[in-house]
A and B are shown apart, each in its own frame.
Chain A
Amino acid sequence: GAVVSQHPSWVICKSGTSVKIECRSLDFQATTMFWYRQFPKQSLMLMATSNEGSKATYEQGVEKDKFLINHASLTLSTLTVTSAHPEDSSFYICSAIPQGGTGANVLTFGAGSRLTVL
């Protein structure tokens, strides 16, 4: 089955530094990837939709200059949290749709990346 890999699975950083999280589709090509954020004991909140070769579409309230998304290839999307602060600490999850795939049930999620900002 389709596999989405996220790296790193856990990162701890100092306030003010930038952190990059990678999302890779391992055995399929994905024209569209989604980035979610989950606060403790809360729902998954869609942050942005990442389309290969074009600018990401951000959800309302998500700062695009804060959360930089790059989808440079059909198998890789990156989320960079710039100048991270403690309030950015969260669990970030990506998901991907296989190229040509239809139906939301073909969405495959990564295992998530936990960011802790000290």
Chain B
Amino acid sequence: DQQVKQNSPSLSVQEGRISILNCDYTNSMFDYFLWYKKYPAEGPTFLISISSIKDKNEDGRFTVFLNKSAKHLSLHIVPSQPGDSAVYFCAARGNAGNMLTFGGGTRLMVKP
């Protein structure tokens, strides 16, 4: 049972345009959501997070939106840069402990 899903395995965007990565979850007990960026043969690096009490969090070019009623979150990157090309994982945390449940990842390719 996949509690966190990223339905788009890949996304291709032109440099300078907006990249929108989507993530859906089923467990209403998740209270904290995170996005990680991962390059090949490297560990994930934390990008941005959002608490379930908020609906938006912005950090530079990265904005995460949370729609609790739809159990949906998205990561917006604008403007997209070639260096943003990587696999992006969304992750969710339950309200006990720091265990994370990851989505399947979306490979973003930003074309120059």
Q: Do A103 and B32 have beta carbons less than 8 Å apart?
A: yes
Minimal Cβ-Cβ distance residue in A for B93: A104
Q: Which of chain B's residues 7-53 have a Cβ closer than 8 Å to chain A?
A: 9, 32, 34, 36, 41-46, 49
Q: Do B34 and A46 have beta carbons less than 8 Å apart?
A: no
Distance, CA A105 to CA B101, complexed state (A): 13
Q: Evaluate whether A34 and B99 lie within 8 angstroms (CB atoms) in the complex, with A4-B43, A104-B34 already known.
A: yes
Q: Do A46 and B41 have beta carbons less than 8 Å apart?
A: no
Q: Do B41 and A43 have beta carbons less than 8 Å apart?
A: no
A89 in the interface (beta carbon within 8 A): no
Q: Do B49 and A111 have beta carbons less than 8 Å apart?
A: no
- How does the 8 Å CB contact mask read for B60-103 relative to A, with 1 for contact and 0 for none? 00000000000000000000000000000101010001111111
| Interface residue tally for chain B (C-beta within 8 Å) | 23
Q: Do A107 and B98 have beta carbons less than 8 Å apart?
A: yes
State which of B41, B89, B93, B97 has its C-beta within 8 Å of the C-beta of A44. Answer: B89
Distance, CA A102 to CA B9, complexed state (A): 31
State which of B93, B99, B101, B104 has its C-beta within 8 Å of the C-beta of A42. Answer: B104
Q: Do A104 and B41 have beta carbons less than 8 Å apart?
A: no
A75 in the interface (beta carbon within 8 A): no
Q: Do A46 and B99 have beta carbons less than 8 Å apart?
A: yes
Q: Which of chain A's residues 72-116 have a Cβ closer than 8 Å to chain B?
A: 91, 93, 95, 97, 103-105, 107-112, 114
A interface, CB within 8 angstroms of B: 4, 6, 9, 32, 34, 36, 41-46, 49, 91, 93, 95, 97, 103-105, 107-112, 114
28 A–B pairs (Cβ distance < 8 Å), ordered by A? A4-B43, A6-B43, A9-B41, A34-B99, A36-B102, A42-B104, A43-B104, A44-B44, A46-B101, A49-B99, A91-B41, A93-B43, A93-B44, A97-B98, A103-B49, A103-B98, A104-B100, A105-B34, A105-B46, A107-B46, A107-B98, A108-B46, A109-B44, A110-B43, A111-B42, A111-B43, A112-B42, A114-B41
